[in-house]
Structure 1
Amino acid sequence: MIQPIFSMEDARLETLGYRQELSRKLRSRDVLGLAIANVSPTMAVLLLTSGVFSIGGTFAIGADAVLAIVVVLISMCLGEMGSLFPVAGGMYSLIRFVLPAPLAFIALFNYLIQGVILPASIALGIGQFVENLVPSIQVPDAYIALIAVAIAVAIALVRVEMGAFVTMAMVAVELLVLGTVTIAAWLHPHQALLQVTFHPVALVGQHLVPVTMGMMAASLAPAFNIINGYDATLGFSEELMGGPRTLARTVRVAAITAAIAIVVPLTSAVISAPDLGAFFRSPSPVIESVQASLGPNFRIVLDIGVCIALFNSMLVYFMYFGRVFYTTGRDQLWWASANRLISHINRFRSPAWCVMFLALPTAVLLFLSQLNWLIIFSGTVTTVVYFFIGLAAIWSRRKFANEVPPYRMPMWPLAPGIVVLFTAFAIATQEFQYLVGEFVLSGMALAFFAASRWWWRKGTQVFTESSVEKQRLDG
């Protein structure tokens, strides 16, 4: 009964101009586990929330609650387009098939830079928490991080089902830690839920002050880095069994699960904070709150949980973005020799060269002081990609009016319209330095687009032509 599904999916890939080269052995629960590992709720709650707390104070609760709704709307867009284009390129492939080629290049560059910045920041976090666990280790964080990267890359180079098994085991540990933190926090409440949610305050100088509209707006884009990564479901679409409707359902479940697993513990941590001033002054506010509730000895459990979460997330980033990069080679995006190398599959049916190409700049970033700026900047580039997803979800209904997707999102065009407006607002309210960074990155993308069209691929297929059309012309 499974073989016809394989054949149907293989035929769909052929229609889109691809051959089935990856190993289709993952079930929905496996891909869901990979996506949740990529989200890494433990890392999001314990580490990534500190940036939002520093900008918007307790409005972090409201920001993430609003973002959770937007995330569900984004997952509807991803579900419909993913069922129509079930290709391993993830959001890049969806944008590539729908939007004009220059916009697709901009989205790709915003997308791939996350595959370098985020694993580097995660690896450095592992180094810091390993030192907390074993203070006697006299090794710089960067070298511990480099070892973690090497181990993650080694796993990412072998069969995808092995990576899925490892991540599923680690996700179970993550959720256990978060569940313990949440329950313990509500056993020792110190703040009123309605008060901190609807009358948010932030630390300015040494005083708690009401959060302004400007502070609320500025906290939206950084919040995108917190509930983010559920789109990794799409990166394993060519390895998922069950067909396009299964893919659409899995990405929606991943988004909803991620939102709940992050918003609930985050809210609980604020509720259990004895002193909001000390909470905001801490470099890790949620960990500060948990220690206040459960005592300093519980910090060991947190450190272990965070190390597991960080490694899990880094592993899936390499697996996921390696497949995105692999798809660009199949799309003939670069020069001929690069395309052959990037689209190569090793004996484990893994895009090994792509994983290695992402790991090398990641290793370099471990030793650069500008990484903190890049981490914050990654929130901006994430928002830009989601903006393009909203546009593509609107555009695809018109461009492919004669095709009926296996899954049609409800609330169209309201759902993608809200995504476009929300992400556009979040981008517009970013600090000037990050907008400058986005303009530079977009300029680089357009330069590569021009090169791909007029230099590397002169006289051959341009980016906007499909691989199927290329094969027809070559024949």
Structure 2
Amino acid sequence: MVAEESGSPRRLHRGLLVLGTLLITLSAITPASSVFIIAPGVMATAGTGAVASFLAAGVVGIFMAFVYAELSSAFPLTGGEYAIVGRTLGRLPGFMIMILIGFTNLLILAVIALGVGIYLGVVFPGLPAAPVAAVTCLLAAAFAVLDIKFNAVLTGIFLAIEMLALAAVCVLGFGNAHRSVGELLTAPVVAGTGGGLSPASLGVIVTATAVAIFAYNGYGGAVYFGEETENASRNIARAILWALGITVAVELIPVTAVLVGAPDLGELFGAPNMMAHFLDSVGGPTLSTLVSLGIAVAIVNAVLAILLMVARMLFSSGRDQAWPAPMSAGLRALHPRFGTPWVATLVAGAIAAAVCFLDEKLLLVLTGTALVVVYFVLCVAALNGRRTGSTAHGSYRMPLFPLPPLLAMAALAYVGYVSATDPEIGRPSLIVTAVVLVVAAAYYLLWVRRRGGWVMRDGSSDESTSRATTT
């Protein structure tokens, strides 16, 4: 695919401090997009009980952040989750997770990019969503090839714009309060029949928590920059924990502000676009337009940040020789000047751009439940890593072990159950996830293992001398 030149770098450049890694990770989480796209779904289910749902999801997030931090401290590798699972649970589970994550993340890039046209459409009506999303993916790929420190600064600037949009929501909500935060927690209400309100039950709040968990997702993505971060064993764990804490705050507070400041909850819950309705009714159309532009910037920023992560995972898979030799050689190629996985970056951008033209509901079905499986497997990896001692060399040890992984597994099992009862997206998505895992296992057993094994490198030295393990 691409021949590696003798003068090309063999390792990623280690130039990020914890702040740079944190900025990229927060950009990938894109809290503003979660507030404007995912939070309305939580409010539609739980009403003002959405505050309790986001609080409960934050507790689950803490458990998973502990799991991610301990595993990433032991294995701060650019392969991310698959590199961790492969070293704690074995080559076959690791390979299956690699295929699942690669498949899912490439599609998620398109799902997120499709949101750009929606929010730019406020200013430029009639923009075609798919072409705009495809162009966004291609432009993001062009920037992602550049030096990782440059991208950390760029995502940081975009993140600041995103935070301003969320700050505007908070000022509007708390500055025009119609009810107290205590009322939201002690007497939650949900949309009732005929446009009225009725008490929100514990059941709907718990059900909405399953959706809120996804709103916080992405803090574990810091591990993809483990080979580019200084003192990675300590700093990746710190970036993960900081990312989770900041994400919970900057998503929970604006959601609370909207529910506190909405003049009429019945109209809010009945609006086709709750956030746009809130901004129009409280801030006016001009502010609504400005905030919409801020959300468009946030989505573009998320595409860039997630593309940086996906490219590093693909690079790692090429370095580990997961594919036929020419393909692996291309994916592990590093830019001679920037030291970035430029081929893997451009491949990821091109695939994501093409996927933008698929039906959006189909994309949701294809990606919906993969995260639940990955989280669950990581919890098992954390438990097994302690049992075998394979994670003992890490700098971070989670508190209250083994409660965090066990409680997170219980919550994830519930999310899986809720997904299985949804015939529209949840159940088909579980089936798709199972099919991807079966195909990955078959590919590993029938081709990868037979051709001589899967190499797992840690990037600590040149390929010719690196410590490698095979099956």
Q: 1:251 aligns with which of 240, 264, 268?
A: 240
Question: How many Å apart are 1:401 and its aligned residue?
Answer: 5.7
Structure 2 letter corresponding to 1:386: Y
Match of 2:40 in 1: 50
Structure 1 letter corresponding to 2:438: L
* Structure-2 change in CA distance of 1:121 and 1:436 (3 Å): closer
Unaligned runs of 5+ in 1: 1-18
Deviations 1:388-434 (A, max 9, x none): 12111111101226833211111111111111111111111213442
Q: Is contact 1:38–1:314 with CA below 8 Å preserved after alignment?
A: yes
Match of 1:322 in 2: 311
Question: How many Å apart are 1:198 and its aligned residue?
Answer: 3.5
Match of 1:69 in 2: 59
Match of 1:435 in 2: 427
Q: 2:162 aligns with which of 171, 174, 189?
A: 174
Match of 2:6 in 1: none
Residues 1:131 and 2:99 are matched in the alignment: no
Q: Partners of 1:290 and 1:402 in 2: how far apart?
A: 48
Question: How many Å apart are 1:354 and its aligned residue?
Answer: 2.1
Match of 2:322 in 1: 333
Q: Partners of 1:319 and 1:236 in 2: how far apart?
A: 9
Instruction: Please give the TM-score of this superposition, normalised by the length of structure 1.
Output: 0.88
Q: Is contact 1:221–1:383 with CA below 8 Å preserved after alignment?
A: no
Residues 1:122 and 2:112 are matched in the alignment: yes
Question: How many Å apart are 1:316 and its aligned residue?
Answer: 0.5
Match of 1:408 in 2: 397
Q: Partners of 1:101 and 1:271 in 2: how far apart?
A: 50
Deviations 1:134-175 (A, max 9, x none): 33xx54222222222221111012211121111011111211
Instruction: Please give the TM-score of this superposition, normalised by the length of structure 2.
Output: 0.88
Match of 2:228 in 1: 239
Mean Cα deviation higher: 291-300 or 147-156: 291-300
* Structure-2 change in CA distance of 1:199 and 1:385 (3 Å): farther
Mean Cα deviation higher: 287-296 or 404-413: 287-296
Q: Is contact 1:109–1:441 with CA below 8 Å preserved after alignment?
A: no
Match of 1:421 in 2: 410
Q: Is contact 2:456–2:468 with CA below 8 Å preserved after alignment?
A: no
Match of 1:4 in 2: none
Residues 1:87 and 2:77 are matched in the alignment: yes
Q: 2:176 aligns with which of 172, 188, 192?
A: 188
Q: Is contact 2:307–2:348 with CA below 8 Å preserved after alignment?
A: yes
Q: Partners of 1:472 and 1:199 in 2: how far apart?
A: 57
Q: Partners of 1:140 and 1:254 in 2: how far apart?
A: 33
Match of 1:283 in 2: 272
Question: How many Å apart are 1:213 and its aligned residue?
Answer: 4.5
Count, aligned residues? 453
Q: 2:94 aligns with which of 98, 104, 108?
A: 104
Question: How many Å apart are 1:54 and its aligned residue?
Answer: 2.5
Question: How many Å apart are 1:102 and its aligned residue?
Answer: 4.0
Match of 1:455 in 2: 447
Structure 2 letter corresponding to 1:103: P
- Secondary structure of the residue aligned to 2:190 is strand
Q: Partners of 1:126 and 1:60 in 2: how far apart?
A: 26
Structure 2 letter corresponding to 1:439: I
Q: 2:29 aligns with which of 39, 51, 58?
A: 39
Match of 1:292 in 2: 281
Mean Cα deviation higher: 282-291 or 234-243: 282-291
Q: Partners of 2:277 and 2:78 in 1: how far apart?
A: 40
Q: 1:157 aligns with which of 139, 145, 149?
A: 145
* Structure-2 change in CA distance of 1:271 and 1:402 (3 Å): closer
Q: Is contact 1:47–1:284 with CA below 8 Å preserved after alignment?
A: no
Q: Is contact 2:71–2:391 with CA below 8 Å preserved after alignment?
A: no
Mean Cα deviation higher: 73-82 or 329-338: 329-338
The two structures, once aligned, show a CA RMSD in angstroms of: 2.6
Q: Is contact 1:185–1:290 with CA below 8 Å preserved after alignment?
A: no
Match of 2:19 in 1: 29
Q: Is contact 2:142–2:346 with CA below 8 Å preserved after alignment?
A: no
Q: Partners of 1:225 and 1:360 in 2: how far apart?
A: 26
